[in-house]
Every structure is written in C-alpha cells, then in structure tokens.
Amino acid sequence: MSVSSGIQATFMAGPERNDLSDRIAKAQAERQAREAKKAKREADAEGSISAGALSLRYGAEFGASVFVGILIGLVIDNFFGTKPWGLLAMLGFGLAAGILNVIRAYRQLVADGKLQSTDQADGPENGTKG
C-alpha cells in the first residue's frame, strides 16, 4: 500500500464520504420522482387531442352556432313576417356566439396545456429546486 493510496483511503473513509453518499441518494430519489412525474404526464398526454381533432372541434362549434342562428332567424321571419331582418339579426348573433365558443375552447386548451407543462421547468438541471 503506497502513501498516496493510504491517504486516499483515509480521505474516502471520512465524514465527507457519508455526506456525499447522502447527497447522491437524495439526488437519485429526486430524479426518480421527476421521471415518475414525466411518465405520468406522458401517459396523460396519450389521451390528448391532435391538431386535426382540434380544428374539427373549432369548426363544428362555429358552424353549429351559425346554423342555429340561421334556423332561429328563419323561424322568426316565418312567424312574424319580417322576411330578411330576423334572419340577418340571428345570423349576426350566431356569428358572435360562434366566435365566443371558439375563444372559450381555445382558452380551455391553453389552461390544460399550462397544467401539463408546470412540472417540466422544475429540477436542478434547469437551475431550480423542485
């Protein structure tokens, strides 16, 4: 046993070794917890909506609102005898309702996306604790 290996063995057997072991174990536990969160997020994301499905949803919501507005306008025109005005007024309301529905659906999508991405920025590799 040489002098340098004796010093190294003495150095490695000191209290620093226990501290380092504790820190390594803590880091590994935190990493496993982050990986478990990531796996859970990915499992939840498998059920997420594709871009095509979103475009169909937005289009259907907008189209349905306009269609219902037109139908109500036609019924008003036939019932009260105000030939183009009921249709035009309810078409305007249908367009406004369609725009509001698309905005509401978009806000819901953004809120869901923020909930899923909150854990991604945490961790020592990104300079934060968590």
d(CA 97, CA 85): 18
Please give the model's pTM, rounded to 2 decimal places: 0.55
Q: And the tokens for 10? A: 């003495």
Position 109 confidence tier, pLDDT thresholds 50, 70, 90: confident
> What percent of the chain has a predicted confidence (pLDDT) above 70?
72
Looking at the chain, how many residues does it have? Answer: 130
Q: How confident is the model at residue 54 (pLDDT cuts 50, 70, 90)?
A: confident
The pLDDT > 90 percentage for the chain reads 45
26 vs 115 pLDDT, higher one? 26
Rounded to 5°, angle at Cα 70 from 69 and 76:
90
